[in-house]
Amino acid sequence: MKEKQTHSITLESTCKITDEICLPDTKLPSVVIVGGGFAGLALVEKLKHKEVQVVLLDKNNFHQFQPLLYQVATSALEPDSIVFPFRKQINGYKNVFFRLAEVVEIQPDSNTILTNKGSVSYDYLVLATGATTNFFGMDSVAENSLGMKDIRDSLNIRHMMLQNLEQAAITCDNKERDALTNFVIVGGGPAGVEMAGALAEFCKYILPKDYPEYPASIMNIYLIEAIDELLSTMSDKASSKTLKYLEDLNVKVLLNEAVSNYDGKEVTTKSDKTILAKNLIWTAGVKGQFPNGIDGKHVVRGNRIKTNANLKVEGYENIFAIGDIAALISKETPKGHPQVAQTAIQQGKYLGDSILNIINNKSIKPFKYKDKGSLATVGKRKAVADLGKFKFAGYFAWLLWSVVHLMSISGFRNRLMVGFNWAVSYFTYEKSNRLIIRNFKPKSSIKNREK
């Protein structure tokens, strides 16, 4: 095995991309994991205390619980409630090492990856880099709207919302006030539905208290979906119940409608409808994100990497892909597995066992996904659940959603904080402090200033 070289690097600015990132010398097989999402961390948990050296690389130093990003965006939770430091996660795992770095390129011929901090050698490479917002080539929408894929997006949405509500209280221009208080969410999947429900509750319970100078009815919430139903991956019952819940909360749901343009002030749809709004949140699609170096012929629809039944990237012997970027195409899954947390976790656990078997020259079985069901919430006491043959909605579904999500959060302290916030909100409808910590500026305004 190649012996690792070490370099003394005192300042980030002195580190060259060709320098090797310092790691302890070892004769154990090296497993490098790129990405600390659900898939990456599930793999780490499987490989801890095993006879391998595990190197986790991520551009952030924390794991984020993405299913609750919308609650941070609507001031229901503080950001530190749903993020957890990697180093705290791996504390006590003597064979696991975290390095804060962003991977730039993979060099399969030399079993090396290049990062913005230096290079790392590997025996086995696992790509678990997840997905990013897909604006489907609409540059104007990308520049003027906000996605909701990480904690920074959530904070941007929160600051945009609060700044616009404050400005609405200042302006005497009725048209401008309408634009500032209209919210458009694009995408009727779980993220869009949950965001719309949370905003509707903010409008109903928080707006009248914080902004008594204008009625809550001034805040309009639109949910736009390109097909004829919400939550298309769930049952018809879940879809119809969700639509009813949102309409009861005064959300204006537009089905069979697609956004064609957004200039920061006006949303235009393909049927030529226009909505005046300075708040657009995009949850309509995702695409895989991964470093350079993977042959394009192994990349399929959605910018996902095609793998075989063992999650090995086609064309490579020691590179694997798991989570949102992995596309295991088969007769049973012609479009790959769903890009959800339970898929990522199952693939991470499976691959941990598989890599250990490969190292020990044991046979490995193909990956089999077990669908444990789907849940989505539409505000307090309202949720839908598809659990095999059991499909139900209402309070019990909401209670189940709450328990499942609370137990899935990393760290006892985080679970305690989220549980406490939910309890307070349940009885008082109060949310966390609605503070504008930093001034939010749209990407389009920054781009114009730089010209």
Residues catalogued as catalytic: 194
CA distance 201 to 230: 19
Q: Of the candidates 263, 223, 269, which has an alpha carbon nearest to the alpha carbon of residue 247?
A: 223
Output the 3-class SS for 263-289.
CCCEEEECCCCEEECCEEEECCCEEEC
Question: Rounded to whole angstroms, what are the CA distances from 324 to 32, 261, 336?
Answer: 18, 27, 10
Residue keyed to tokens 């005192």: 10
Angle at 399 between CA 398 and CA 403, to 5 degrees: 115
- Which residues fall within 8 angstroms of residue 131, CB to CB, at 6 or more apart? 149, 286, 287, 288, 289, 324, 325, 339
Token pair of 132, please? 């990013």
**CA gap 95, 112 in Å, rounded:** 20
Alpha helices (runs of H) in 295-411, residue ranges in sequence order: 341-359, 395-408
Q: What one-character DSSP code corresponds to residue 80?
A: G
Segments in 37-120 forming alpha helices (H): 38-47, 69-73, 86-89
Tokens 């995009």 appear where?
282
> What is the Cα 383 distance to its own chain's centre?
20
For 120, 209, 225, 227, 311, the CA distances from 378, given in Å and listed in that order, are 44, 22, 16, 19, 35
Q: CA angle 377-382-385, nearest 5°?
A: 60
CB of 57 closer than 8 Å to CB of 363: no
H or E stretch covering 83: strand 83-85
